[in-house]
Amino acid sequence: MSSDPDLWIALAQLEPQQRAALLLSTLEGYTHPEIGQILGVPAGTVSSWLSRTKERLRVLLGDDAQ
């Protein structure tokens, strides 16, 4: 499992809106439509961002990040 510094470094490498969507989803528990409303994008865009962002984090943090 990755250490906290590794996670923060990986999060810093994400696009700002994708990072915001991830944090709103995982830490705050917002739904995709709610995140879309907050960020001013469709819920489908949020879903795409989250999918790509999670895959990017897997790459950045290694296979054990799943």
> Where is 60: in which H helix or E strand?
helix 43-61
Task: Summarize pLDDT for 7-64 with one digit per residue, the tens.
Answer: 889 999 999 999 999 999 999 999 999 999 999 999 999 999 999 999 999 998 886 5
CB count in 10 Å sphere of residue 58 = 14
Model pLDDT, residue 32: 98
Note the Cα 4 to chain centre separation in Å.
16
pTM over 0.85, yes/no: no
> CATH classification of 4-65 is 3.10.510.20, yes or no?
no
